[in-house]
């Protein structure tokens, strides 16, 4: 794993892109957009999936092996993908 | 409650704006953005909070009294708030 948090987040997010899109704008019909979500929110959800407080057939499996550092790197990556309302 | 689904969603979303913003771009630091999220995802999360499969100190209380029609109207309202990545 790259030591640098940004690189680590980008690398880990590669596995998530199939459902969540390369930058967190979802590709799969029912997968939530992660782009621009608050970092703390994303960390809590990944920890909840890892710990079982929140369950999903795919996310519960994917989150299991993640370390705290992995979770923080992923949360930082997606939080940094700024979004805006299209028709402000 | 207005019979018309759009009006109903807009009206119900008024109570959510304090945390999630008037159109689902979050106002509270750790509240997720709901704008542009897939309608099915939003419905499932509100039902999960209402039914207890997913728990949150605020959302579990707020979702409790919602009917299926309320949930569908809210999900439709937020899903319709289109978003895009800021720096495409």
Which of A20, A33, A81, A86 to mutate to test binding with chain B, by most B CBs within 10 Å of its CB?
A33
- Separation in Å, CA of B1 to nearest CA in chain A: 27
What's the CA gap between A85 and B24, in Å, rounded? 9
What's the CA gap between A52 and B54, in Å, rounded? 11
What's the CA gap between A74 and A80, in Å, rounded? 10
Interface pTM (ipTM) of the complex? 0.92
Angle, CA B20 vertex, CA A24 and CA A81 arms, to 5°: 25
Q: Within 13 Å, how many C-alpha atoms sit on residue B5's CB side? A: 11
Reading chain A (88 residues) residue by residue, the pLDDT tens digits are: 666 999 999 999 999 999 999 999 978 989 999 999 999 999 999 999 999 999 999 999 999 999 999 999 999 999 999 999 998 6
Domains and their CATH numbers in chain A = 5-79 (1.10.760.10)
Nearest to B83 by CA among A86, A21, A24, A23: A86
Residue A81 at interface with chain B, using a CB cutoff of 8 Å: yes
Give how far Cα B27 sits from Cα of A73, B19, B35, B51, Å. Answer: 24, 5, 12, 26
Nearest to B64 by CA among B77, B80, B51: B51
**φ/ψ of residue A48, rounded to 5:** -65, -40
pLDDT band at B27 (very low <50, low <70, confident <90, very high): confident
Residue B84 at interface with chain A, using a CB cutoff of 8 Å: yes
């Amino acid at each position: 794993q790259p030591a640098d948090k940004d690189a680590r987040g980008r690398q880990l997010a590669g596995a998530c892109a199939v459902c969540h899109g390369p930058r967190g704008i979802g590709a799969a019909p029912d997968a939530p957009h992660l782009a621009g979500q608050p970092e703390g929110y994303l960390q809590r959800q990944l920890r909840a999936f890892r710990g079982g407080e929140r369950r999903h057939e795919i996310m519960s499996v994917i989150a299991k092996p993640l370390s705290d550092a992995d979770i923080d790197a992923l949360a930082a990556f997606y939080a940094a993908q700024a979004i805006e309302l299209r028709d402000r």
